[in-house]
Amino acid sequence: MSYMLNILTGLTGFLLVGVILAIAFGALIGALELFAVFANFYLRQKRRKFRNIQTNNGCTLKESVRIFLDSNDMKDVQIQIAGFWRNLFFGCHYNPKKNIFFMGKRIAESRNLADTSLGIQRVAKAINYRHGSKRTKRAIRMQTVIPFATFLIVPIILLGVLVDFLVYSDFATPNFSVIACIISLILFVILAIMSLQGIKIEKNANKTAIDIMEQSKFLTDDEMEEVKKVYKWRVIAYVVNLIISIIRILQLILKIFWIFAKKKK
């Protein structure tokens, strides 16, 4: 009798620890989600504010990009307006393979501080690429991967669930769901690592952009202070994206464990 009592006590303690860990894990995920939501909201507010501030030099983004490309030995780089899909996936960016600097039609004629600072920061990335930074070169090459990897994650999971539903209508053997979750988990891990690398890349590009603008006196002192704030919040955006990737990784790990546990039952 005492033996059974000890077993029940041990199981109760084990379950209690499991419940506490589950609650702590859920609280951690919830806290990270709340921080990500707050940071994204604050970042959007900052962007709106900076888009209402017009630069005093009167240059459009396209003209500003051309000035800094030419003054940094990159006269051979062409500037083109990006098509709809390229602009949707990549935004303002430098393509080293084509040696073309792409930008959206709307921001090409923009004179506000947010778009100008973004364009010059992208020029700074191109300058760092020319100077042989392996980290920057790798990041620019991976531009073609990040957007597609992000958009593929949800369809992959839904496809796994759909196949399991068609093959195993009672979900007794959720093999494809497990495979889909594992593939999505791998993609999320890759995105998290790239976000971590992106923080360093953004900081280097920010420093280069600030240096070339201050040396050329392209903006006023007040405008430079605002630009530094823009760059600061772009780094925060990368941190938030990293946090979101970590949250998604944790959620997928829990989902895989849940599927396996259900399968064993």
DSSP 79: E
User: Which parts of 58-145 fold into alpha helices (H)?
Assistant: 61-70, 84-90, 105-108, 113-130, 134-141
Structure tokens at 203: 């900081």
- Give residue 133's pLDDT: 67
Which residue, among 143, 144, 145, 135, has the nearest Cα to 205 in the 3D structure?
Answer: 135
Report, as an integer, the average pLDDT of 174-178: 69
What distance, in Å, lies between the first and last C-alpha atoms of the chain?
29
Closest CA to 159 of 143, 174, 141: 174
Q: Report yes or no on whether pTM surpasses 0.75.
A: no
pLDDT tens, position by position, 49-81 = 888 888 888 899 999 999 999 999 999 999 999
Considering only 18-22, 30-34, 188-192, which range has the smallest mean pLDDT?
18-22
Q: Around Cβ 140, how many Cβ atoms within 10 Å?
A: 21
The phi and psi torsions of 50 (rounded to 5 degrees) equal -70, -25
Q: For residues 184 and 260, what is the distance between their CA atoms, to the nearest angstrom?
A: 16
For residue 8, pLDDT over 50 is answered with: no
Which pLDDT score, from 0 to 100, does residue 149 have?
Answer: 67
Each residue's pLDDT tens digit, 93-116? 898 889 999 999 989 999 998 899
Helix (H) or strand (E) holding 56: none
Strands 100-103 vs 78-81: parallel, antiparallel or unpaired: parallel
Which residues span the domain enclosing 138?
Answer: 2-264
Please provide the average confidence, as pLDDT, over all residues in the chain.
78
Pairing of strands 78-81, 93-95: unpaired
Provide the number of structural domains found in the chain. 1
**For 142-151, b where at least 16 C-beta lie within 10 A, e where not — what string?**
eeeebeebee
- Least Cα distance to 254 among 31, 35, 38, 28 occurs for 28
